Amino acid sequence: MNLNDLLKHTSEWLKSTGPNSDIVMSSRVRLARNIDKLAFPSWANEKQSQKVLELVTEAVAKIDYFKNASLFKLAEVDSLDKQFLIERHLMSHEHAQKTDSKALVLEPEEIMSIMVNEEDHLRMQIMQSGLNLFEAWNIMSKIDDQLSDTLTFAFSQNWGYLTACPTNTGTGMRGSVMLHLPALVATRQINRVLQAVAKLSFTTRGLYGEGTQASGNFFQISNQISLGHSEEMIIENINGLIRQIIDQETQSRNALLTNNRAFLEDKVWRSYGTLENAYIINSEETIELLSMVRLGVDTGIIKNIDRCAVNELFILTQPAHLQKMVGKKISSEERDVKRAEIIREKLKIKQ
């Protein structure tokens, strides 16, 4: 598989085909695993890290699920492609640093990716569209079982799976859901919601996960506790919380449509008009305006634009994607021009 092929492909989590896709963009299940009797990546020497990479490479080659997957050694991937993979949510910023002995296993549909030698020996993730954590876990569980037949993972009868970060010890699982909450932001209820989320021992991050701030009214909510809970219990707890937030966002959208429709339509159409007519636009403005256009599509204010097309623009307008599309590195100013061109082309309303 060539990374350039991903430009022609819509990532699974952007397709807007899963449950509650008007509010939930994606669901992700991530699993941390370490190979028994080998030092965790932060303490491993080069020989030990290479050993991990060799063992994972051999294991992946034996498993049917990975028959169409590719393994990319990050030392052989240039900086633009690394940023491209980060923008597609296939690996973390941390994984792109100090890339010796690191790798990424990726299958063409972009449902599954495995970071090798990130914070843990394996950081596996499954991405699904909409509120679909149980389906993501079903896929992940099968992969984990098959890998366990080949690799011996570090495990304690008392503590469960052992991980580099103590908060992941236990199941080693983090479930997360990406929510689009523009109405809660517009009605100034979002801080109350996020405070309640924190009190329930969940964490909130931005569009690109740990260390990022919320932008474009996107909020990524995940569990903080892994120890002492089964995977199914963790997912059920997340789902219960997310359903409450979905209800509150839905109520806020209905309230805006009923009581402040002119305000909402103005915000939506001003955003669309700017995007449709701009010839220079930066990343920050783009994501904020696209957020309002997406709300317009979801509430029926804008018709004949596919939500999936709007979702794709959140990724296609990122810096590395723009440069991959033109086939070379370009300056920030050139990217702003190219970004506007792509938006004008993709955002035309079908008559």
User: Domain boundary residue among 197, 219, 253?
Assistant: 253
Residues 146 and 234 in one domain: yes
Q: Is there a single domain that holds both residue 193 and residue 277?
A: no
Shared domain for 81 and 185, answered yes or no, is yes
Give the C-alpha separation, 28 to 145, whole Å. 18
What domain range includes position 120? 3-253
Same domain, 68 and 210: yes
**Residues 191 and 264 both lie in one domain:** no
Asked if residue 141 belongs to a domain, the reply is: yes
Nearest CA-CA partner of 241 in 133, 167, 135: 133
Same domain, 117 and 157: yes
* Residue-level pLDDT at 1: 77
For 224-282, the pLDDT digits (tens) are 877 778 899 999 999 999 999 999 999 999 999 999 999 999 999 999 999 999 999 99
225 and 119 inside one domain: yes
**pTM assigned to the model:** 0.92
| CA–CA separation, 299 and 184 (whole Å) | 14
CATH of the domain at 15: 3.30.590.10
Query: How far is CA 345 from each of CA 17, 174, 342, rounded to the nearest angstrom?
Result: 23, 38, 5
Which comes out higher in pLDDT, residue 209 or 197? Answer: 197
274: in domain: yes
Number of domains making up the chain: 2
Query: Does pLDDT of 196 surpass 50?
Result: yes
Structure confidence by residue, pLDDT tens digits, 208-227: 555 445 677 999 999 987 77
Residues 311, 194: one domain?
A: no
Residues 275-308 pLDDT 10s: 999 999 999 999 999 999 999 999 999 998 999 9
288 and 159 together in one domain? no
State yes or no: pLDDT of 26 exceeds 70.
yes
